[in-house]
């Protein structure tokens, strides 16, 4: 099966990425502004949604801050007017995504489709064109700090590695689709790159990983932590040489746990279904934003810019590469802090600190007394995909009871409450917990932590 890949376009973007990396901050800003003007002009010309929303704001010498903020919910409600290719009507995309056999297949022969609920818990569908994918490929290949540099020089395509992706594989999720695309681009890698579902029983996951013997594991921080514990207990028999993380916040404590247990390099990245390569981790361990191809605006609750050193209420993303589904001042929902000091690595790309959701692994007791781990990404994926809820909190009450907290706007439907409970019970039974109890509770609003986001999976607090 062919995929979306343009080697000539990738080569041109790669040369530009290298030039931007060696250039000055002033040259970086000039690149950014040129691409912004082109993006806005294209959106007004080809997107009916943006034509309506921007035509009055771009009169005269406008600035980005003059343009209105857009929300995922509103964009999805106007999908057909939002996209710039009229062949991408919502009915066509929806039919395509309903067929599980078409995961990672190009839509209309030229687009990849990614789905995500995102931090706002609103479902989103994002179309990636050849230009966006070339940008992601170039940024991932050229910006990220590389461990084992001699080996990477001798084997830049990872042909000697066994790369395991452990995550959600039952939908058009960005990480899974990207892994499948990598296999399609490089047939030699197909046998050495495998995807493992987090929804399977944990012992089966461990057995599959033990057979594969991965040298590189790409997964979420919460899953990596459970795998590290399995290694300490002798259940995971081989330790990777590299661990690649994303999709969740990585705390310093979890990073140290992984580095000490696996005794390997831990690489973290920051991305989203909207823009896969938002940030990269340098050799000094700091996260840099790829501001030659995107603009991040940390703002307060009123939409005003916050100064460096202050954590934002949310962040506005402007995607400078995607022309088919423009994102201009899009409310990403993440909280970031722009650092005030330059990085010791010498890069002029801004350093950001990302505050994200920190979900926890739930340890439940089976009838035989054995502990069974319920991974947060598996729990949230089940509720999103099978129950169709995106705003919730799963709370562990005891070793055999879970409670789903649903806000009034969701929980007013008894059908949704029942579907949510059934979905979790079904998953738990599949993992060896057939008698688990699942309660549902209606709350005025989900409780929010210091990050300002609702923690979606909360473990039982030990005394």
CATH class of 144-270: alpha beta
In this predicted structure, what is the pLDDT of residue 191? Answer: 85
Q: Are 352 and 279 in contact (CB under 8 A)?
A: yes
In this predicted structure, what is the pLDDT of residue 453? Answer: 47
Please tell me the CATH code under which domain 362-458 is placed: 3.30.300.30
The pLDDT tens digits for 205-229 are 999 999 999 999 999 888 898 899 8
Q: What is the mean pLDDT of residues 57-61?
A: 88
In this predicted structure, what is the pLDDT of residue 121? Answer: 54
Confidence class for position 118, pLDDT limits 50, 70, 90? low
Selection from 5-14, 113-122, 246-255 with the highest mean pLDDT: 5-14
- Structure-derived torsion over alpha carbons of residues 102, 105, 111, 115, reported in degrees to the nearest 10: 50
Task: Identify the bridge partners of residue 336 per DSSP, sorted by sequence position.
Answer: 354
In this predicted structure, what is the pLDDT of residue 200? Answer: 87
The pLDDT tens digits for 331-342 are 998 889 999 999
Phi-psi region of 114 (alpha: psi -120 to 50; beta: other; left: phi over 0): beta
Poorest-pLDDT segment among 203-217, 263-277, 376-390: 376-390
Start-end of CATH 3.40.50.12780 domains in the chain: 7-135+277-355
Is 80 exceeded by the pLDDT of residue 310?
Answer: yes
Is 80 exceeded by the pLDDT of residue 362?
Answer: yes
Distances (CA, A) of 267 to 136, 270, 447: 17, 10, 31
Lookup: tokens for 104: 């990672």
CATH class of 7-135+277-355: alpha beta
Could you give the CA distance from residue 295 to residue 298 in angstroms, rounded to a whole number? 10
Q: Classify 48 as helix, strand or coil.
A: helix
Q: Are 232 and 208 in contact (CB under 8 A)?
A: no
In this predicted structure, what is the pLDDT of residue 418? Answer: 93
The pLDDT tens digits for 273-306 are 999 999 999 989 999 999 999 999 999 999 999 9
In this predicted structure, what is the pLDDT of residue 2? Answer: 77
Is 50 exceeded by the pLDDT of residue 269?
Answer: yes
- Residue-level length of the chain: 463
In this predicted structure, what is the pLDDT of residue 253? Answer: 78
Express as a percent the part of the chain with pLDDT over 90. 66
Q: What is the mean pLDDT of residues 56-84?
A: 95
In this predicted structure, what is the pLDDT of residue 357? Answer: 57
Start-end of CATH 3.30.300.30 domains in the chain: 362-458
* Phi–psi pair at 458, nearest 5 degrees: -120, 120
Q: Are 434 and 371 in contact (CB under 8 A)?
A: no
Q: What is the mean pLDDT of residues 46-59?
A: 93
Q: What is the mean pLDDT of residues 315-323?
A: 97
Q: Is 242 exposed, middle or buried (0-12, 13-18, 19+ CB in 10 A)?
A: buried
Poorest-pLDDT segment among 87-101, 114-128, 352-366, 447-461: 447-461
The pLDDT tens digits for 400-456 are 999 999 887 666 678 889 999 999 999 999 999 999 999 999 988 777 554 344 678
In this predicted structure, what is the pLDDT of residue 252? Answer: 81
Express as a percent the part of the chain with pLDDT over 70. 92
Start-end of CATH 3.40.50.980 domains in the chain: 144-270
The pLDDT tens digits for 149-200 are 555 555 666 778 899 999 988 889 999 999 999 999 888 888 899 999 988 8
Q: Are 165 and 219 in contact (CB under 8 A)?
A: yes
In this predicted structure, what is the pLDDT of residue 278? Answer: 97
The pLDDT tens digits for 344-355 are 999 999 999 997
Residue whose tokens read 């799963």: 394
């Amino acid at each position: 099966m062919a995929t979306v890949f343009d080697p000539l376009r990738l080569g041109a973007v790669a040369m530009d990425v290298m030039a931007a990396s060696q250039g000055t901050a002033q040259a970086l800003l000039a690149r950014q502004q040129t691409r912004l003007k082109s993006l806005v002009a294209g959106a007004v010309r080809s997107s009916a949604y943006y034509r309506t929303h921007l035509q009055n704001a771009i009169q005269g010498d406008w600035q980005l801050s003059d343009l209105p903020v857009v929300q995922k919910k509103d964009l999805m409600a106007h999908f057909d007017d939002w996209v710039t290719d009229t062949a991408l009507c919502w009915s066509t995309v929806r039919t395509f995504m309903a067929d599980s056999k078409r995961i990672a297949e190009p839509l209309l022969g030229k687009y990849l489709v990614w789905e995500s609920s995102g931090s706002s818990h609103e479902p989103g569908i994002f179309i990636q064109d050849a230009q966006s994918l070339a940008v992601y490929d170039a940024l991932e290949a050229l910006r990220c700090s590389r461990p084992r540099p001699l080996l990477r020089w001798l084997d830049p395509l990872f042909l000697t590695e066994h790369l395991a992706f452990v995550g959600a594989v039952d939908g058009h999720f960005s990480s899974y689709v990207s892994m499948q695309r990598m296999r399609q681009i490089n047939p030699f890698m197909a046998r050495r790159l495998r995807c493992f579902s987090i929804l399977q029983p944990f012992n089966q996951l461990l057995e599959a990983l033990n057979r594969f013997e991965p040298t590189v594991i790409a997964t979420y921080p919460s899953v990596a932590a459970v795998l590290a514990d399995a290694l300490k207990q002798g259940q995971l028999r081989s330790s990777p040489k590299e661990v690649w993380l994303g999709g969740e916040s990585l705390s310093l404590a979890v990073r140290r746990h992984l580095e000490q247990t696996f005794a390997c390099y831990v690489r973290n990245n920051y991305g989203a279904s909207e823009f896969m390569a938002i940030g990269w981790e340098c050799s000094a361990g700091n996260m840099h934003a790829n501001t030659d191809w995107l603009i991040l605006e940390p703002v307060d609750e009123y939409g005003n810019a916050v100064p460096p050193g202050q954590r934002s209420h949310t962040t506005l993303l402007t995607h400078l590469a995607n022309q088919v589904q423009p994102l201009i001042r899009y409310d990403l929902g993440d909280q970031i802090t722009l650092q005030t000091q330059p990085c010791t690595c010498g890069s002029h790309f801004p350093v950001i600190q990302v505050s994200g959701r920190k979900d926890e692994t739930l340890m439940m007791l089976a009838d035989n007394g054995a502990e069974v781990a319920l991974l947060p990404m598996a729990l949230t994926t089940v509720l999103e995909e099978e129950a169709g809820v995106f705003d919730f909190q799963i709370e562990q009450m005891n070793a055999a009871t879970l409670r789903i907290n649903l806000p009034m706007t969701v929980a007013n439907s008894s059908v949704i409450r029942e579907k949510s409970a059934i979905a979790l019970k079904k998953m738990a039974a599949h993992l060896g917990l057939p008698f688990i109890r699942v309660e549902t509770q209606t709350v005025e609003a989900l409780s929010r932590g210091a990050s300002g986001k609702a923690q979606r999976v909360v473990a039982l607090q030990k005394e």
